[in-house]
Amino acid sequence: MRKLKLFALPYILWMVVFTVLPMFLIVYYAFTNAPGNSAPTLEHFFKAIDPMYMKILLRSIWIAFLCTALCLLLGYPVAFLLARARNGAVWSLFFILPMWMNFLLRTYAWMSILENTGILNSLFVAMGLGQMELLYNENAVILGMVYNFLPFMILPIYTNLQKQDVSLLEAAQDLGCNGWRVFTRVTLPLSMPGVVSGITMVFMPAVTTFAISRLLSGGKFMLFGDIIEQQYLSTGNWNVGSMLSLIMLAIILLSMGLMGRFGSDTKDGGGML
């Protein structure tokens, strides 16, 4: 046992230097003013709860919610089919494959597909349908996010469904359930841990999204992640940026706690990759 703990040491060290210390720095920046002056202040908090920022925060949460719901709606059936398919593992590769490429590259690819002079619109124009406004709006952002985060929904559900005991399904059938009832009474309730971890894994990155939103909306549609980035990189106000990050962190912890409560209601975990 003692020896095993020793193996964890490099990671603990890593975490202290790159997670815990930066975290303290963020808290420090959020509650102090200008370098050198360590008197605590709530100034940045009052700046951060400006209605403008709160509006963007609510929007981010709403978009993340929408994105998670869409991912679940699209992802569950896919995961179900994959789990039942004979070569599920091979097919699931197709969903992992795009993740081998950086998400920014894939987002840029979406831009050239959707833009006015892009692939889809050229096709529409050639077919006489006329140009459509596909890029530079909210829908493009949601599309980009669902596309990027869908694998994080499919994979945990797939892993869970795949591990389900077939004899349970057979038992349900023997006892007179039709296919639909087997699904709603047995498969679905048993897959809840997978669904919960899928939701967590999509909601977290969705609510903190930046860059995707800026690129696909042409900078017209900002999410909370974008304003944090802006505070650090262009406004140069690290204090407000840190405070906004803390608010984001609080929301994530809150929703994780909420999901955790959901998750623990259903028995035996699993599904989490």
Least spacing, CB of residue 16 vs other proteins, in Å: 6
Structure tokens belonging to residue 119: 């692939």
Structure tokens belonging to residue 3: 């020896």
Cβ neighbourhood burial of 115 (10 Å; 0-12, 13-18, 19+) = middle
Binding residues (CB under 8 A) for other proteins: these are 9, 12-13, 16-17, 52, 55-56, 115-117, 133, 136, 217-220, 222, 227, 230, 232-238
Q: Which is nearer to other proteins, 21 or 99 (CB)?
A: 21
Least spacing, CB of residue 133 vs other proteins, in Å: 7
Q: Which is nearer to other proteins, 153 or 216 (CB)?
A: 216
Q: Which is nearer to other proteins, 41 or 266 (CB)?
A: 41
Least spacing, CB of residue 171 vs other proteins, in Å: 49
State how far the Cα of 255 lies from the Cα of 55, in Å rounded to an integer.
19
State how far the Cα of 47 lies from the Cα of 247, in Å rounded to an integer.
12
Q: Which is nearer to other proteins, 136 or 158 (CB)?
A: 136
State how far the Cα of 235 lies from the Cα of 35, in Å rounded to an integer.
16
Q: Which is nearer to other proteins, 122 or 184 (CB)?
A: 122
Nearest CA to 138 among 52, 53, 245, 66?
Answer: 66
Three-state DSSP at 33 gives strand
Least spacing, CB of residue 8 vs other proteins, in Å: 10
Residue 40's DSSP bridge partners are 32
Least spacing, CB of residue 101 vs other proteins, in Å: 19
Q: Which is nearer to other proteins, 31 or 76 (CB)?
A: 31
In one-letter notation, the amino acid at residue 63 is I
CB atoms within 10 A of CB 234: 8
Least spacing, CB of residue 111 vs other proteins, in Å: 9
CA distances (Å), origin 138, targets 1, 150, 224, 240? 53, 18, 14, 26
Least spacing, CB of residue 9 vs other proteins, in Å: 8
Q: Which is nearer to other proteins, 68 or 231 (CB)?
A: 231
Exposure class string for 164-188: b at 16+ Cβ within 10 A, else e: beeeebeebeeeebeeeebbeebbe
